[in-house]
Structure 1
């Protein structure tokens, strides 16, 4: 790994500290001979996939929104290794949360013009169908996110659970609220992918694509995010959300919950089913 990292970054590696693993890859903190510290994700020898290519494409695509985009830079990458700057953690502050809310507006307001993305997507190590589509968001969400992951999660769901999700898919146009243009989304915006550093928040580990901006905000709420009320207030002040957005949060959480059912099984079944029931009350 050290030889591979040196070749990739073009600098001597002074030290590498192992940080554990996530999915199929290992995590590391490295110090380079030029003084830089970097964060490294590495796949084992002989193991390759499109995960890192998708992550790099997503980070660079999010950064295309401009210098205010709160996105980690890519130091170097290939199919088996991804290198980012080391971002020292700090406690999140209310001021940083407000800045983050406004920075999300900067991303979301830069519409890519279609839903999906021009690369093969992943969330964790699961493939996403990011085929570009200029149809309205509800049908895209149903066909590219809910239906595929309902099939993946089905072994952990009962027949009545599956029928409930199918009901949501059947009437999704009635649940989705006013039409919205596509927004430049992080796509996996749970609090663990928000790195608080340098008085601000930086985004890592995206499943980036053109989607509905309420999806990112609903994901922030799914597992809790520090100062979420300040983030949302700053966001809504700069880029007001459509009426009823709070009631639509469970609809936007259905996909990440199905992802979690797929990855982790029965422990996420109940919240996924409850979100589907709640989403149906929007009719």
Structure 2
């Protein structure tokens, strides 16, 4: 290893290989995805291009949005499709999640992304039974509506910590890549407070215009990350999960 690279140890068995597959798949659409230099599956380590940090700017945020739109536009075979040539597990953080190709986004999202984590959180005691009931009602509403959606190639864990700004521009890191809904990445960026979000959206729309009501629908796409955090980070996230579940129910009826 030299000063231009660093080695990252996987947090769970096979997680380094899963991350490498996701990065390479996303990088097919944008060179702003961090480059994989090498993979040691036996040691569960990745060698990645080293990145220096810089203060995020409005211009860099616009660039980010445009590149994210290009990644989404690259598409995937189905909702829940894993990265190309990858048949192993999918992770969000240290936790495994299902990636089974599905034709209907609503079914994929509720059955493979929201409910497994909400139910595990309730079993773990970090989400109340009342909170779980709210999430289930929200998921029922999502499935009833079953809004049309294009299959996007998404990062899948795009909170602000997984978007790194460097002197040479933005870089996407640490994905949970799969076929999903484009709004999911945008909703997670909004949830965890990325810098210059409005400019990021402006850049996104230079490539792909968003639906007029997309911001109203953000709570739907925040159910998954908040269910994950309620399970992995504790009951402090349960109130916010219940809040977005209530907003989803009010929106969809």
> Contact between 2:12 and 2:94, CA under 8 Å: does it hold in 1?
no
- Once the two structures are superposed, the pairs formed by residues 32-47 of structure 1 within 5 Å of their partners are 32=2, 36-42=3-9
Shift of 1:150: 1.4
> Contact between 2:119 and 2:132, CA under 8 Å: does it hold in 1?
no
In 1, the alpha carbon distance for the partners of 2:160 and 2:246 equals 25
Bigger Cα displacement from structure 2, 164-173 vs 214-223:
164-173
The yes-or-no answer on 1:78 pairing with 2:26 is no
> Contact between 2:131 and 2:242, CA under 8 Å: does it hold in 1?
yes
In 1, the alpha carbon distance for the partners of 2:189 and 2:145 equals 20
Bigger Cα displacement from structure 2, 152-161 vs 217-226:
152-161
Shift of 1:37: 2.6
Q: Determine the structure 2 residue equivalent to 1:63.
A: 27
Shift of 1:104: 0.8
In 2, the alpha carbon distance for the partners of 1:175 and 1:156 equals 29
In the alignment, structure 1 segments of 5+ residues that lack a partner are 1-12, 14-31
In the superposition, relative to structure 1, how do residues 48 and 244 fare at CA in structure 2: closer, same or farther (>3 Å)?
closer
The yes-or-no answer on 1:198 pairing with 2:162 is no
What SS does the corresponding residue of 1:163 show, helix, strand or coil? helix
In the superposition, relative to structure 1, how do residues 48 and 239 fare at CA in structure 2: closer, same or farther (>3 Å)?
closer
TM-score by length of 2: 0.91
> Contact between 1:72 and 1:202, CA under 8 Å: does it hold in 2?
yes
Q: 1:141 aligns with which of 82, 87, 109?
A: 109
- Once the two structures are superposed, the pairs formed by residues 7-18 of structure 1 within 5 Å of their partners are 13=1
What SS does the corresponding residue of 2:206 show, helix, strand or coil? helix
Q: Determine the structure 1 residue equivalent to 2:233.
A: 264
Shift of 1:175: 5.3
More strand by share: 1
Q: Determine the structure 2 residue equivalent to 1:187.
A: 156
> Contact between 2:110 and 2:143, CA under 8 Å: does it hold in 1?
no
In 2, the alpha carbon distance for the partners of 1:173 and 1:48 equals 32
- Once the two structures are superposed, the pairs formed by residues 1-283 of structure 1 within 5 Å of their partners are 13=1, 32=2, 36-42=3-9, 49-65=13-29, 68-79=30-41, 80-116=44-80, 117=82, 118-119=86-87, 120-133=89-102, 135-154=103-122, 155-174=125-144, 178-283=147-252
In the superposition, relative to structure 1, how do residues 278 and 48 fare at CA in structure 2: closer, same or farther (>3 Å)?
closer
Q: Which structure has the bigger radius of gyration?
A: 1
Shift of 1:124: 0.6
What SS does the corresponding residue of 2:245 show, helix, strand or coil? helix
Shift of 1:174: 4.6
In the superposition, relative to structure 1, how do residues 198 and 174 fare at CA in structure 2: closer, same or farther (>3 Å)?
farther
What SS does the corresponding residue of 1:70 show, helix, strand or coil? coil
| Cα RMSD after superposing both structures | 1.6
TM-score by length of 1: 0.82
What SS does the corresponding residue of 2:153 show, helix, strand or coil? strand
Instruction: Report runs of 4+ in structure 1 exceeding 6 Å deviation.
Output: none
What SS does the corresponding residue of 2:8 show, helix, strand or coil? strand
